[in-house]
Amino acid sequence: MGKKKKEVDDRFKRFGTVSFTSITKINDFIDYLDQGKIMGTRCKECGLFFFPPRADCYNCLSSDMEWVEVSGTGKLVTYSKLEFAPIGFGDDLPYAIALLDYGDYKMFGRIAGDVPEDEIHAGMEMTARVNTLPNGQLNYVFHKA
């Protein structure tokens, strides 16, 4: 009679090429990615919105959050195209990491591989979309709006 193994909710291990986190209270984020949605959280107590999503509000210390979809376009703040990659990311090269400004919040991610390099410039309007990586992992990438 073996002990029944406790089920571990480690959905977050599917985030990004290599995820360094597997267990977090905002694991539903991954289910939303599966549905093609990028979600942030809003504190139901004080109304503060968070992206990336958080389980806890530092403003009012509440943990009562609701999911809110991120939509619209953002402006490219800055980016860098990598010629070398840290261990575990070599197969993705070359790729560009970037920051998008949605006005009330910013999003760190990658620029979609099919955006021509000579068309990338700071200030351009972009939109984030869910992306499935060749290894089956999920992330989001920025496309020209």
Partner 1 sequence: MGKVGIIGVGQSAFVRGYPGSIRELAFEGFKDAMQDVGIPTKDIDASIICSAPEYDKQRSPAGVFAEYLGLVPQPTCYLESLCSSSSMGLRFAYSLVKSGLHDVVAVIGFQKMSEISSAESQERMGRGADIQWESPFGTMMPAYYAMYARGHMEQYGTTLEDLALIRVKAATYGQINEKAVYRRPVTFEMFSDPESPMSNPVANPLRVGDCCANADGSSCIIVANEEKAKAFSKKPVWILGLGAASTTVNLAGRDLFSGLTVAQQAGEEAYKMAGITAKDIDVAEVHDCFTIAEMMAYENLGFAKPGEGKELIKAKETYKEGSIPVNVDGGLLSKGHPIGATGGSQIRTVVLQLRGEAGEMQVKDPEIGLVHNIGGVGLYGNVSILGR
* Sites for partner 1 among residues 96-135 (CB under 8 A): 97-99, 105-110, 122
Q: Which is nearer to partner 1, 18 or 61 (CB)?
A: 18
In the complex, least distance from residue 67 CB atom to partner 1, rounded to whole angstroms: 16
Q: Measured between alpha carbons, how far is residue 38 from residues 3, 43, 90, 141 in Å?
A: 38, 17, 26, 11
Distance, CA of 141 to CA of 139 (rounded, Å): 7
The encoded tokens of residue 127 equal 């939109």
What string marks each residue from 7 to 26 as x (binds partner 1 by CB under 8 A) or -? -----x--xxxxxxx--x--
Compute CA 92 distance to the chain's CA centroid, rounded to the nearest angstrom: 17
Give the whole-angstrom CA distance, residue 96 versus residue 82: 6
Among the listed residues 10, 52, 130, 143, the single contact to partner 1 using CB under 8 A:
52
Residues of span 58-97 touching partner 1 by CB under 8 A: 77-90, 92, 95, 97
